[in-house]
Each structure stands twice: as structure tokens, then as C-alpha cells.
Amino acid sequence: MRLRGIRRSRNVEVRRGGRGGRGGRAGGLGIVGIIVVLAIGYFTGIDVSPLLQGGSAPQTQTSRGVTEADAAATQFSAQVLATTEDVWTQVFREQLDREYVPPKLVVFSGVTQSPCGNASGATGPFYCSADDKAYLDTQFFTALDRQMGAGGDFAAAYVIAHEVAHHVQNQLGILPQVNAARQRSSTVEANALTVRLELMADCLSGVWARNVQGLMERGDLDEALNAARKIGDDYLQRQAGRVPQPHTFTHGTSEQRARWFGRGYDTGQVGQCDTFDAQRL
């Protein structure tokens, strides 16, 4: 992704000196098991700390300083966020006849607090509608590449765009409606609603990608589609050694995530991302 010369968003809040986990066994899991559990946390937004602790004593928490990788990740995130601001300002004006108000992006290292709960490597990137902020650990990009095999700068940019897409849903009133419906639903029904919400965010991420084509390099689209496939519920459950259980899905299958991203990319239209009216996901 060509970001040289792209401005940095001012809507980035950097929190340093956070507390990050170190040392100790994680509930008897081997190193492969730890990587898989962390990956599930990164890409589902679920706090997997209890799985890592496995009922044993909590891991020692130590703070770490800012690394060169942290600084690079922060700059990258600020530039990608700026592209989302430009795209959604234009799309809101031209397609929705509305004004776009961008979210804040909290970039942190280790652990930080949010109104939606703790943010850490165990919870993964997520959007909190209570404060209109997206949360991103600087170590996320390493996990995306090394642990999930979804490397590349555009793959990382896609995930940032996905969290911003949840903010778009919030501004359009979709997120609060779905949250209210989930509270009235059974677990299985709530999961099904969440899948539609997440696939819509994937489609909206595709709309963003369509509008930053001038910044894309050869292979960027493949990176985004690969990332979408690697964070499908069925893929993650297989990676964890489980048979995929569709009734437990909260984000959609690999095929669904890639296809809805592609739909947004191909059309560039917000109106094509209505997963709640779709007969087939």
C-alpha cells in the first residue's frame, strides 16, 4: 500500500507504558496451543485470558517500553485511519447525503482500559461504541503475519478498515439496533445477528478498499482477501482442533468474509452491503 506522503490522522490516541503479559505457562497449553488461542482472541474480539490461564495463577504483568516496531505501527495506523476518514467523508456525502464524524483510534502496547472492558492482545482489535473509539495493540500486526499467515500491509489496513466500518454502522444507527435485538435473543439467534453485522463490516471495508485503489499495489487485494479467509470462524475453529460449529459462529465463514469484502470492493456502494436483507450470506 502506497502511504508515502499520506497524512497522519489526528484522531489517534497513543497510550504507552501499558502492562503486557510475560512469563509462565498458560494453563498447560503448548506453544502451538497458545498461538492458536491468541489468534482466536485477536480475530474474534473475545477475551481469551481465562483460556490462557486455565485456572492457574495469573501471569506476571510487566510494562514494556516503546519499540521501533511500535512507532512504525503507530504511523501506519494513523495513515490508514486518514484514508478511512477521506473515503467515508466522501461516501457519506455522495451516497448517504450525511456528514461523517470519524472515530478515534487508540493505539496501545500491552493492556489498556476502555468503557467496553479491558483491551489487550487477548481481546484483539475492537470497536467500542460507548466512546466511539477503536482499540489496536501494536503487537497485532506481528500476530497477523506470523501467527495467522496473513501478512502484508494491506491485510493490516483491511483490519483497521473493518473496525472503522463498525463505527460507520454505529453512525448509521445499525449497531445500536442490532445490539438491542441481540439482548432480546437466544445465544444462537444473537450469534446469527452478529455474523450479519460482521459480514456487513467486511463489505464496508471493501467499499473503503474500492475508494483507495490509487494507493494499492500489486498483490494488495489478494492480501486483504487472504486475511478475510484466515479470520473466518470455520478456519479458526479448525486451527483450534475443533470441528466447525455453525451455530457458534460470530463472524462468518472464510468464504463468506472474503465474498462480502469482494462485494463491497466490486460495487463501491454502501447499499450493496445490507446483509440483514440478504437471503444468502
**The model scores a pTM over 0.85:** no
Range with lowest mean pLDDT among 153-157, 184-188, 252-256: 153-157
Range with lowest mean pLDDT among 127-136, 213-222, 257-266: 213-222
HSE, CB side, 13 Å, CA atoms: give it for residue 244.
14
pLDDT of residue 17: 56
Q: Which residue from 73, 104, 79 is spatially nearest to 5, judged by alpha carbons? A: 79
Q: Which residue from 68, 67, 180, 198 is spatially nearest to 125, judged by alpha carbons? A: 198
pLDDT of residue 254: 87
CB-based burial, 180-211: b 16+ in 10 Å, e otherwise: eebeeeeeeebbbbbbbbbbbbbbbbbbbbbb
| CB-based contacts of 254, cutoff 8 Å, min separation 6 | 228, 229, 230, 231, 232, 234, 235
Which uninterrupted H or E stretch holds 127? strand 126-128
Give residue-wise pLDDT tens across range 242-253.
Answer: 888 888 888 888
Which uninterrupted H or E stretch holds 135? strand 133-137
For a pLDDT cut of 90, what percent of the chain falls above it? Answer: 45
Q: For residues 60 and 184, is the Cβ–Cβ distance under 8 A? A: no
At 19, the pLDDT band (50, 70, 90 cuts) reads very low
Higher pLDDT, 137 or 44: 137
Residues β-bridged to residue 128: 133
pLDDT of residue 143: 73
Give residue-wise pLDDT tens across range 201-240.
Answer: 999 999 999 999 888 887 888 888 777 777 777 777 887 8
Give residue-wise pLDDT tens across range 69-112.
Answer: 678 888 999 999 999 999 999 999 999 999 999 999 999 887 88
Give mean pLDDT, residues 117-121: 74
**pLDDT of 58 over the 50 cut:** no
pLDDT of residue 69: 63
Greatest mean pLDDT range, 12-21, 119-128, 148-157, 271-280: 271-280
Give mean pLDDT, residues 157-180: 94
Give mean pLDDT, residues 165-194: 94
pLDDT of residue 213: 83
pLDDT of residue 39: 44
For a pLDDT cut of 70, what percent of the chain falls above it? Answer: 77
